[in-house]
Structure 1
Amino acid sequence: MAAVQVPNGSPSPRRASHPHQQFPASRMYDLQQELSSVQLEAKQILAHLVSKLKETDSKYYGRYGKWIERHPRQQLEEFCFRCVRPQVWAYLGGRCSLDALKSIGGDLKFEGRSVYLDGVLGLDRRVRVYIGQAGSLRQRVAQHLNFRYRRDNPSLHYHAMQNSIYNTIGCLAILPSSNLGNHTLPGMDCPDLLLNLLEMWMCLAFRTLPSQTLDVWLSEMEGVNKGRKEGKEGEIGGLNIASPLDHGVKQTEWIDLSDSDDPLVLEYMSPTPWSKRDVEHRKQNGVRHVKKEDEYDETKEHDTPAQRKKNYAETARRYMSKDEGGIHVPQWVALGALAVALGLVLFNSRGGPQPQPRVRFR
């Protein structure tokens, strides 16, 4: 078991130590003859995903269509299954919880391409999951645990880690090395696209994408629940925003998360302090540890340029009304004059020039 704990506000997150095991580059996981119900659902999702990418009217056809057509569909899907670690199916087939996420584990010091998972327990005691990919899992985990890297690369995932109690990282799938003739394996002629496909597949299986993205890919599938996973700590939230299929593309599709029912997502997307409605929404959902700067301030509702101009005019009018019928002498002028007079008195009495006595010589 490989668990990673990131205390909130700690400058140096601590990772639980585990023995280092080198993963053989040519090793693949065996595929069972009889698939479980979870594996059958995952197989259905993968087949639907591959078929959608092959459609000529799909926006992904230009990048994925020809690559998928070069490989027999059955062999490509079987190869994807053999890349996934058995602990993933054990987790999806059991009761989802933070402890179950810890059991996924894996070798976090692996230097090759992989798809990983980060389960985050928030301050509101809710578990959220992020799924990502890495060219080097060891380097990627080190970046996640570096608070300076998280500060310089803001994201929803890092926002959740900053407002968390505990998190655990596990390895979901591993690609074999491209050397030793492995480039002839299904999909390994373009390992970057294969890694995107695996990550997208895992995001759909774990339901970590936004609800509108899940609707696009899962709504046409019969017998597949497109909702979030339910676990011991309640609904398992998702921390993925962008589609993994767009990884490596400069311009990606923007997704509107303003209708999300997750208070953490709304907090991340909001550029301004919380309104009264949002604070009440957070309290109703049992969100604790509301930041002081996020508390509702009624005076901020009237803090507009027109209101500030009006307040300034009223202040100036009150100031002028006090001085009608008389001459106003600023206090600093009176104090300054008094200080000068006192200085002159002291100078003449002690510090001024004194007359020299005259001495006569006879």
Structure 2
Amino acid sequence: MSHFSAVLCGFYGMKNLGDELLLQGMIDLFASVGVGRDRLAVLSGDPDHTSRTYGVRSVSRWSPKDIWELCRSSQSLVLGGGGLFQDSTSVRSVSYYSGVMALARMAGCVTWVYGNSLGPLSSFAGRSMARLALKGVRSLALRDRSSMALANRLGLKAVMCPDPVTALSLERAYGDRVLVNLRPWDGRLEIEAARAIGGYLSSRSLTAVGVAMAPEDRDLMEGLVGKGLLDLEDIVLPDGANHPVWRSGGFSVGMRLHFNVLSSLSGIPGVAVPYDPKVRDYGSSVGYGVLGHGGTIEPSGPDFSWLESCKEMSGEVFRSCWKDVIKP
């Protein structure tokens, strides 16, 4: 019998709060099917931190030898959440995750995907590698409509599931601060969004705080404040979903997917700034306003009934996928 039920692979241990929440969500989902932390292992950019924080075995995501040895003692390898198969900046992400999945299969692991986005895949190389890697999975569960449509075009059979982070439970917000999240992107969208947000805040004399989901978000927003494009009273880098900044929110406007997820789970009306189809899909699904080229900010939502259905659906789809993975 394999020592581990699953090796979890994602952008874990890379100082991005969204990906850390995905890992926590995946661990919780495994617990719901009776798989404890002692039966899970994680590929991480910071194995020591991951092991201490989550109580799981962890090895370096950059060590083929360690990955091979871990997969040799595991029943499966799962890509657990995130936008892993995309080539927006280069094909490196697709190459890495395709390579890990190939190595896992050679080691005897069943490979599967849960809660991921698929795409954008604009290059022939990216599409080819993704199609080849994903054709061999036992189960493919994607988290948004755009990903499902791309899977169909690539000839891949997939089911839709909620993002794993939507299964978390957060305290309701009670504050009146505007929560702002901007991330580095193409050098244009984040500037346009900053100008729109800055104008909105100034016209209404509102107090805003920057919420950085990763260190590069903080650096960007500090630069925007320095240029006079944004007026933020503070910029915080939360260490988890229970950070008090979420409870202080009155409404939110931001780019990162999981910034919008946490804001909506906290009951905060919001505006999504879509740098990627997954953000637009989530924003429209949860009832958030979506910042367009006109720069109009109109907070709305969240749809609590939709969020509750996500929690229920997340457990149901995960159980179904897990049954497919462990079947002989």
| Shorter-normalised TM range | under 0.3
Higher relative contact order, structure no. (Cα contacts within 8 Å, ≥ 6 residues apart) = 1
TM-score by length of 2: 0.24
TM-score, structure 1 length as denominator?
0.23
